[in-house]
């Protein structure tokens, strides 16, 4: 049988392992915390601690999200007011765990899911047929098995305008008016893509829309632009309009989904979060806002064709 690795290494052996001069090893002890102990005037190095020290200094280490009951549950993707409140509900109910959200837009959520930077992605990417959502984008963005698709809610998307609608905005075509300025969402968001889709249907060039290149990260941020008077209109959800006392012109009732890798689906934090969608507290949260439909919340969604 081959000899088992020695439990302790000498200075020379550590230097050979790290491919450095022995003098550098002494510097690593004092300056970088290289594990070592001195016995009868000589340094010796526990092999397993040296190996752990090397691993701890690796950069770009591919870490997988933790999945235990006390793990951090990471969600990323499309921003939503009810989702934010549901994450807060999760954190209040499950004190041994923590849920956090990265507002990256729907396409950013798919990229994060593909890189395993999150356990749940959120998206509302409408297909060109205006009926289906997300599946075509998943096929392009995800390497390997496609995630499970669970509905979070349906919600009303449209154009948010100031109270009293002083610019008399009626539809997407009205956004091209000379005296109208919009606050837009950033590239990669489902809301931005919906606006571009509607502009194309109306035969309008986005370059003609004053403010089209101005980008804001959340529905609340574009709503505040209108409330402050810095913008006249913005694509967004009805919940924000009602929250801020603004007016709303509906464009689409859309499906907003949670995308979960199938190999993580039964992990405890994910099941806890999905379980909240059947909870009375979740339904009461949704009832405090306008524009949400929970008829499919928590249910698996399958591609219609």
What CATH code is carried by the domain that includes residue 90?
Answer: 3.40.190.290
Q: 28-42, 158-172, 253-267 — which is least confidently predicted? A: 28-42
Rounded mean pLDDT, 193-209: 94
- Give the CA dihedral 12, 14, 20, 23, nearest 10 degrees: -60
Rounded mean pLDDT, 212-217: 94
Report pLDDT for 2.
44
* 119 and 91 in a common domain: yes
* 98 and 49 in a common domain: no
Report pLDDT for 48.
85
What pairing do the DSSP bridges indicate for beta strands 37-39 and 42-46?
Answer: antiparallel
Question: Is the residue at 181 inside a domain?
Answer: yes
* 163 and 86 in a common domain: yes
DSSP class of residue 84 equals H
Residues in a beta bridge with 72: 98
Question: Is the residue at 61 inside a domain?
Answer: no
- Read off the pLDDT band of 52 (50, 70, 90): confident
* 108 and 19 in a common domain: no
CA-CA distance, 252 to 191, in Å (whole number)? 10
* 158 and 48 in a common domain: no
Report pLDDT for 298.
95
Question: Is the residue at 304 inside a domain?
Answer: no
* 166 and 28 in a common domain: no
* 110 and 258 in a common domain: yes
CA-CA distance, 26 to 3, in Å (whole number)? 28
Rounded mean pLDDT, 16-39: 86
Report whether pLDDT(289) > 90.
yes
Report pLDDT for 19.
87
Report pLDDT for 87.
97
Report whether pLDDT(66) > 80.
no
Percentage of the chain lying above the pLDDT 90 cut? 76
CA-CA distance, 287 to 139, in Å (whole number)? 34
Q: Which residue range(s) make up the domain with 165?
A: 72-293
Choose between 115 and 57: higher pLDDT. 115
The C-alpha angle 218, 203, 173, rounded to 5 degrees, equals 55
Question: Is the residue at 144 inside a domain?
Answer: yes
Question: Is the residue at 152 inside a domain?
Answer: yes
Give per-residue pLDDT as tens, 258-288. Answer: 999 999 999 999 999 999 999 999 999 999 9
Question: Is the residue at 15 inside a domain?
Answer: yes
* 215 and 274 in a common domain: yes
Question: Is the residue at 267 inside a domain?
Answer: yes
pTM of the full structure: 0.77
- Give the CA dihedral 237, 243, 244, 248, nearest 10 degrees: 40
Helix, strand or coil for residue 132? coil
CA-CA distance, 171 to 235, in Å (whole number)? 11
- Read off the pLDDT band of 1 (50, 70, 90): very low
Give the gyration radius of the chain's Cα atoms: 26
Choose between 55 and 274: higher pLDDT. 274
Number of domains in the chain: 2
Report whether pLDDT(195) > 90.
yes
Give the residue among 260, 262, 258, 271 at the shortest CA–CA distance from 94: 271
Contact between 44 and 70 (Cβ < 8 Å)? no
CB atoms inside a 10 Å sphere around CB 161: 25
* 283 and 153 in a common domain: yes
Question: Is the residue at 197 inside a domain?
Answer: yes
* 28 and 105 in a common domain: no
* 82 and 29 in a common domain: no
CA-CA distance, 105 to 148, in Å (whole number)? 19
* 191 and 104 in a common domain: yes
Percentage of the chain lying above the pLDDT 70 cut? 93
Choose between 38 and 118: higher pLDDT. 118
Give per-residue pLDDT as tens, 73-88. Answer: 999 999 999 999 999 9
Q: Return mean pLDDT, the chain.
A: 91
């Amino acid at each position: 049988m081959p000899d088992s690795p020695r439990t302790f290494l000498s200075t020379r052996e550590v230097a050979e392992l790290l491919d450095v001069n022995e003098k550098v090893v002494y510097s690593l002890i004092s300056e970088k915390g290289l594990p070592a102990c001195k016995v009868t005037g000589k340094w010796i190095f526990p092999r397993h601690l040296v190996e752990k020290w090397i691993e701890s200094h690796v950069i770009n280490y591919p870490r997988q999200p933790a999945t235990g009951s006390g793990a951090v549950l990471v969600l990323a993707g499309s921003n939503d007011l009810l989702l934010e409140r549901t994450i807060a509900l999760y954190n209040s109910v499950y004190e041994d765990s923590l849920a956090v959200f990265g507002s990256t837009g729907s396409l950013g959520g798919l990229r994060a899911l593909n890189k395993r930077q999150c356990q749940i992605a959120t998206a509302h990417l409408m297909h060109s047929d205006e009926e289906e959502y997300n599946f075509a984008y998943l096929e392009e963005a995800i390497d390997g098995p496609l995630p499970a698709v669970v509905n979070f809610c349906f919600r009303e998307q449209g154009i948010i305008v100031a109270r009293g609608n002083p610019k008399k905005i009626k539809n997407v075509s009205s956004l091209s008016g000379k005296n109208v300025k919009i606050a837009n969402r950033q590239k990669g968001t489902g809301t931005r893509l919906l606006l571009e889709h509607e502009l194309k249907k109306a035969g309008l060039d986005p370059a003609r829309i004053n403010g089209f290149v101005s980008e804001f990260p959340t529905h609340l941020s574009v709503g505040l632009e209108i409330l402050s008077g810095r913008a006249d209109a913005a694509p967004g959800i009805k919940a924000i309009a009602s929250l801020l006392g603004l007016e709303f012109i509906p464009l689409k009732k859309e499906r907003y989904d949670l995308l979960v890798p199938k190999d993580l689906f039964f992990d405890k934090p994910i099941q806890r979060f999905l379980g909240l969608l059947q909870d009375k507290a979740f339904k009461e949260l949704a009832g405090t806002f306008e524009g949400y439909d929970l008829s499919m919340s928590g249910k698996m969604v399958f591609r219609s064709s």
